[in-house]
């Protein structure tokens, strides 16, 4: 069976063949069969299949087919409640520094402070259209949990969030935000207490409560239709960015950069550029402290599954994973909780194999330097996840062309404690004097 448990054993459970669904007016061909090349699929326990089928049907009818005006309501709410469209802003200081036009897609200005609301609002609204009465979600950095709690409060749905004990410590401000929005937090103490375990626990909950509960997954991971559906909600980012860059600059960019954990801000920022062959797409992963995997300890001191991972099954989908020779998932690491995941979305894995997306990575120190650089030079404190993209820009700006769009996936308020602590421990070159930061005014 499974892979809700988090192991990589593929029991050969078949993914379903394309089949027409005439009663809905949609066809399976419109959705595809959830495969991206060899990746994706539905590797889930039998108990979850009814929920997955119901969700596929709802995705086709409401999200693709706009039944009952779902899409119109989503677009209205993400505009009025979420604050879309987010700006595409020229970064004057960085443009001068790199002698390249650098534009920032400001998802940090979306309500909640990250791109996560695009998907969370879409899925909570979909749950309402499906007649569900309860929301569960996992969270790593707490941004998806926060966005889900906000969307659930906005739409009047009870909400429970699963979060690893380690992430609860790393991301305290978001724990408070979720609670203030009325969500219940379920602490996950298994394994390393990060995102992988939180996803597994949420899937376990969903498997026993499918009748009345919807699982709002936080990235383009999990069994079909989640990767495609989450991508569709997040694709607003590149839909807007493409129009904005054409409008503001008069041409398409040479490169689009986005950090990649599970990959939802990444595919969101890339989707409408995928067919534009001249636009380079760079998925910036967490290189952590090293790209090596310590097989004996079962630890990868990085989260670079696109750059270094191998094929396996995790959380219901075949994709690129950090695993040992026996197919056991190894522990991942990143200075940013939101990138700290041993897998990645199947669509990104496929686009990397097709050489359409370039997987790149920067280490923890470069990300922290990116965090301080954007704060000092542009007056924008980015999330530590986002800071990886700016770490890459610093190291490779001269290879990216004359016009670069960087997706600012989120703001760094949630990371202040972690960023100060990590900066102090690592002696980051471009940080302000630490005694000024930690010694009070
Ligand atoms: C601000 C921010 N950016 C990026 C990510 C990584 O997620 P994804 O790769 O799905 O965009 C997270 C995850 O929590 C996040 O909070």
Query: Does position 9 have pLDDT exceeding 60, yes or no?
Result: no
Q: How far is the CA of 16 from the centre of ligand 1 (A)?
A: 30
| C-alpha of residue 386 to centroid of ligand 1, in Å | 8
What's the pLDDT tens digit per position in 80-89? 999 999 999 9
What pLDDT is recorded for position 296?
A: 84
Can you tell me which atom of ligand 1 is nearest the CA of 114? 1
Q: Both 72 and 134 in a single domain?
A: yes
d(CA 93, CA 98): 9
Atom 7 in ligand 1: which residue has the minimum CA distance? Answer: 261
Report which protein residue has its CA nearest ligand 1's atom 4: 385
CA 147 to centroid of ligand 1, rounded, Å: 12
Q: How many CA atoms lie within 13 A of 206 on its CB side?
A: 31
Cα 385 to ligand 1 centroid, rounded to whole Å: 6
Phi then psi for 288, rounded to 5 degrees? 60, -135
Spatial distance between the Cα atoms of 265 and 115, rounded to a whole number of angstroms = 6
- Among 105, 109, 135, 113, which Cα is nearest to 122's? 135
Last residue of a domain, one of 196, 230, 264: 230
Residue 324 predicted with pLDDT over 60? yes
The domain total for the chain is: 2
- Tokens 């398409």 belong to 252
Domain boundary among 230, 252, 268: 230
Q: Which of 203, 230, 257 is a domain's end point?
A: 230
Q: Is 46 exposed, middle or buried (0-12, 13-18, 19+ CB in 10 A)?
A: exposed
Q: 22 Cβ partners below 8 Å, 6+ apart?
A: none
- Asked if residue 359 and residue 211 are part of one domain, the reply reads no
Label residue 441 by pLDDT band (50, 70, 90).
low
Indicate which atom in ligand 1 lies nearest the CA of residue 383.
1
Q: Which residue's CA is minimally distant from atom 12 of ligand 1?
A: 338
- Tell me what pLDDT residue 388 has: 98
Residue 26 scores a pLDDT above 50: no
CA-wise closest residue to 151 among 132, 124, 126: 124
Q: If you search the block for the tokens 């790393």, which residue do you land on?
A: 170
341 and 211 housed in the same domain: no
Query: Residues 199, 329: one domain?
Result: no
For ligand 1, atom 1: residue with the closest CA:
410
Ligand 1 atom with minimal separation from the 221 CA: 10
Known catalytic membership, residue 409: yes
Confidence of residue 170 (pLDDT cuts 50, 70, 90): confident
Question: Which residues are within 8 A (CB) of 76 and not within 5 positions of it... i.e. 6 or more apart?
Answer: none
**pLDDT tens-digit readout, 291-307:** 988 888 888 999 999 99
Query: Ligand 1 pocket: which residues have CB below 6 Å?
Result: 114, 140-141, 143-144, 219, 259-266, 338-339, 383, 385-386, 409-410
> Which residue would you say has higher pLDDT here, 276 or 433?
276
218 CA to centre of ligand 1 in angstroms = 9
Contact 47, 8 (CB under 8 A): no
Residue 17 pLDDT > 80: no
Same domain (yes/no): 105, 144: no
Note whether residue 11 is domain-resident. Answer: no
For residue 32, report the distance from its CA to the centre of ligand 1, in Å.
26
Q: Any idea which residue has 């809700």 for tokens?
A: 4
Q: How far is the CA of 5 from the centre of ligand 1 (A)?
A: 23
Segment 159-175 shows an average pLDDT of 93
One domain, residues 181 and 270? no
Whether 68 is covered by a domain: the verdict is yes
Average pLDDT, whole number, for the chain?
A: 91
Say if residue 160's pLDDT is above 90.
Answer: yes
Specify whether 332 is catalytic. Answer: no
Task: Determine which one of 116, 128, 132, 414 is catalytic.
Answer: 116
Q: Measured from the CA of 143, which atom of ligand 1 is nearest?
A: 16
Q: Whose CA is nearest to atom 10 of ligand 1?
A: 264
The residue to mutate among 338, 351, 389, 418, having the most atoms of ligand 1 within 8 angstroms of its beta carbon, is 338
Nearest CA, atom 5, ligand 1: 338
Is 187 domain-assigned? yes
Both 200 and 295 in one domain: the answer is no
Selected catalytic residue, list 56, 60, 138, 369: 138
CA–CA gap between residue 8 and residue 316 (Å, rounded): 10
Per-residue pLDDT tens digits for 220-277: 999 999 999 999 999 999 999 999 999 999 999 999 999 999 999 999 999 999 999 9
What range defines the domain where residue 141 resides?
A: 36-77+116-230
Residue 440 maps to a domain:
no
CA distance 216 to 230: 9
Residue 21: exposed, middle, or buried by beta-carbon count in 10 A (0-12, 13-18, 19+)? middle
- Domain membership flag for residue 397: yes
Verify that 58 and 186 share a domain, yes or no: yes
In a domain, 82, yes or no: no
List, for residues 44-72, the tens digit of each pLDDT value.
Answer: 999 899 999 999 999 999 999 999 999 99
Mean pLDDT of 422-438: 86
> In the predicted model, is pLDDT for residue 21 greater than 80?
no
Does the pLDDT of residue 435 top 90, yes or no?
A: no
Whether residue 239 lies in the annotated active site: no
The continuous run of DSSP H or E covering 101 comes out as: strand 101-106
Position in ligand 1 atom list of the atom nearest CA 266: 11
Counting residues of the chain whose pLDDT is more than 70, the rounded percentage is 92
Q: Do 152 and 285 lie in a common domain? A: no
Average pLDDT of span 337-359 = 96
Cβ(349)–Cβ(267) below 8 Å: no
pLDDT at 439: 67
C-alpha closest to that of 413 among 81, 154, 91, 176: 176
Answer yes or no: do 121 and 97 share one domain.
Answer: no
Reported as type and span, the H/E element at residue 35 is strand 35-36
CA-to-CA separations, 143 to 150, 163, 391, 398, in angstroms, rounded: 10, 11, 21, 32
CATH of the domain at 383: 3.40.50.1100
What is the layout of strands, in order, in the sheet containing 39-40?
35-36, 39-40, 317-321, 310-314
Mean pLDDT, residues 392-399: 98
275 and 369 part of one domain: yes
Query: Which of 118, 257, 265 for a ligand 1 pocket mutation test, highest count of atoms within 8 Å of Cβ?
Result: 265
Ligand 1 pocket test, candidate residues 113, 264, 334, most atoms within 8 A of CB: 264
Q: Model-level pTM? A: 0.92
Helix (H), strand (E) at residue 373 = helix 364-378
In whole angstroms, how far apart are CA 247 and each of 88, 156, 251?
A: 10, 38, 8
Q: Is residue 5 part of a domain?
A: no
- In-domain check, residue 403: yes
Q: Are residues 59 and 137 in the same domain?
A: yes
Residue 20 pLDDT exceeds 60: no
> Structure tokens of 411?
């703001």
């Amino acid at each position: 069976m499974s892979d809700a448990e988090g192991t990589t054993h593929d029991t050969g459970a078949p993914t379903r063949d394309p089949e027409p669904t005439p009663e809905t007016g949609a066809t399976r061909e419109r959705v595809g069969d959830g495969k991206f090349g060899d990746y994706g699929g539905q590797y889930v326990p039998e108990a979850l299949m009814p929920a997955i089928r119901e969700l596929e049907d709802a995705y086709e009818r409401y999200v693709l087919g706009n039944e009952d005006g779902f899409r119109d309501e989503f677009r209205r709410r993400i505009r009025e409640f979420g604050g879309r469209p987010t700006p595409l802003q020229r970064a004057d200081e960085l443009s001068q520094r790199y002698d390249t036009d650098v534009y920032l897609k400001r998802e940090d200005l979306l309500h909640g402070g990250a791109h996560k609301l695009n998907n969370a609002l879409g899925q909570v609204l979909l749950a309402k259209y499906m007649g569900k009465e309860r929301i569960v979600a996992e969270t790593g950095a707490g941004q998806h949990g926060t966005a889900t709690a906000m969307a659930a409060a906005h739409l009047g749905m009870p909400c429970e969030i699963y979060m690893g004990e380690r992430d609860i410590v790393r991301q305290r401000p978001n724990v408070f935000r979720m609670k203030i929005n009325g969500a219940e937090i379920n602490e996950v103490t298994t394994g390393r207490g990060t995102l992988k375990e939180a996803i597994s626990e949420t899937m376990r909950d969903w498997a026993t409560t499918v009748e009345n509960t919807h699982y709002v997954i936080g990235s383009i991971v999990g069994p079909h239709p989640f990767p495609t559906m989450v991508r569709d909600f997040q694709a607003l980012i590149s839909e807007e960015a493409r129009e904005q860059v054409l409008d503001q600059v008069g041409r398409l960019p040479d490169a689009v950069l986005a950090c990649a954990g599970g990959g939802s801000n990444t595919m969101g920022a890339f989707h409408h550029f995928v067919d534009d062959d001249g636009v380079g797409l760079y998925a910036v992963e967490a290189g952590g402290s090293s790209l090596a995997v310590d097989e004996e300890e079962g630890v990868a001191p990085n989260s670079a599954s696109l750059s270094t991972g191998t094929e396996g099954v995790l959380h219901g989908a075949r994709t690129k994973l950090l695993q040992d020779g026996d197919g056991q998932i190894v522990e991942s690491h990143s200075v940013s909780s939101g990138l700290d995941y041993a897998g990645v979305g199947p669509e990104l894995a496929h686009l990397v194999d097709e050489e359409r997306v370039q997987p790149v990575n920067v280490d923890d120190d470069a990300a922290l330097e990116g965090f301080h650089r954007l704060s000092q030079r542009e007056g924008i404190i980015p999330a530590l996840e986002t800071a990886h993209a700016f770490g890459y820009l610093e190291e490779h700006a001269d290879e990216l062309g004359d016009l670069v769009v960087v997706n600012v996936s989120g703001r760094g308020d949630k990371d202040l404690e972690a960023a100060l602590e990590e900066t102090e421990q690592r002696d980051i070159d471009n940080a302000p004097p630490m005694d000024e930061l930690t010694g009070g005014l």
